[in-house]
Amino acid sequence: MSASHHRWFRHLIAGAAIAASAAGAGCASQRAAQPHIPDQSVLDPATQALQKAVSVHADQFAPRIVDSARRRITVARDILFKAAESDRSLTPAEHDRIQKLVDQARLDARAALIKTQAGAVQSQIGQLQGRNDHSNGTGGSVGDSATNGGQQSALGGGALGQGGAQDNRMLGGAQ
């Protein structure tokens, strides 16, 4: 082999070594830049229920309940991502915990939705009651035990949604 071939061969080997190390570094950086994203579809029932509640402004009428639903979803998502970061499947205990959190978040979102709907009904009843009170000269209000036009107030004491079975019967058993 001539000296020029020998130099060319050394450059070829050096170039190949540099290319191999760059390719290895590139793979490592791609792995670090793109962590495994777990399947979050298990959270869908809770996130959809929460989105429905928020779409009717439940976060304004029942902020604590909405926050509770959000926290439960976040905890469940954290469990999913921690397992994914460790590159492992969920343990049965983690799976059960996530399912429980999703169920509780769904119930929270539904409660927030119902509270919001009850508030809207209460507001409408108050408006109607106010119109009736002004037209027949009485000054009663919703929840007042005063008679309105010869009839006792339909809601009795307590706010709508807190009066229990009586309020549900008044609304036709709506839940």
Cα gap 55→66, rounded to integer Å = 12
pLDDT value for 165: 38
DSSP-derived secondary structure for 29-97: HHHHHSPPPP--GGGHHHHHHHHHHHHTTHHHHSHHHHHHHHHHHHHHHHHHHHHHHTT-PPPHHHHHH
**pLDDT tens digits, 3-54:** 555 555 565 565 555 655 655 555 554 555 566 789 999 999 999 999 999 9
Low-confidence ranges of the chain (pLDDT < 50): 29, 140-175
Tokens 């009850």 locate to 118
**pLDDT tens digits, 6-15:** 555 565 565 5
